[in-house]
Copies of this chain bind each other. A is one copy, B any other.
């Protein structure tokens, strides 16, 4: 495949992926950068770097609601560009190696962060708890896989319109976790049956509010009303400096809504909502459980 075609294919794949969580999408983007860094045909170090940086920016812009995509690629660019600034004489081969090694290093760092989150979650959740989640998150799936040993059961939502809940159901089924599968509209009905809510995040905004799949805000309202603790499980790469006012909430193709053409009726398909920090019991990152006061809860 020609290199421009390769880049285009990578971008389109990420734009079209409406089911994966943001960590998985960030990994796919970083892997695309790593692959592209090796197949580049640029011969001058400066041109090579400029081309890589430009592809990196294009990848970041594919999914503006996902802080992790921005952050992990920023971190990669910083490392790669820093190397060039320190060693302006770097030859192309060194640069290519740095690009690859740094990408792999960041993916490793993120995986380790996720392992630690899973550990913190497993310490928090009591045996035989009923855990409710909405939408899909690779972090939460990893938690469930480990929590299976604690004989927990689950309540999960279908998560219209992408129906990511089906993927979650398939994975919980394999882990042998007894699961109730509900429509998004039944979230309030089933909340009193849950002991705890665990959710991933696409971004954590400056004030701790959480950008995640549409319906997360409703989940949090119901948990708060019923008095069920709700934790956001997200590595530090998902921290964003954006606020409710500056975050862009992506709207996807409205054909997913399956509405026939009707005069005056406009289908809407905004994928993400923002859950205020006041509805969240704690944020679990690689360093432990953070609460609104900043003191890790035990």
Contact = CB atoms under 8 A, between A and B. Distances in A.
A66 to B, nearest CB: 17
Interface stretch (A38-46, A113-121, A216-224): A216-224
| Majority secondary structure, A binding face | mixed
Interface string A156-186: 0111110000100110110011111111111
A288 interface: no
Q: Size class of A's contact patch? A: 35 or more
A238 interface: no
A180 to B, nearest CB: 5
B259 A166 contact: yes
Interface in A257-278: 257, 259-260, 262-270, 273
A58 interface: no
A282 interface: no
Given A169-B259, A273-B188, A181 B266 contact: yes
A46 B170 CA distance: 59
Interface of A: 157-161, 166, 169-170, 172-173, 176-190, 213-215, 217-218, 221-222, 225, 249, 257, 259-260, 262-270, 273
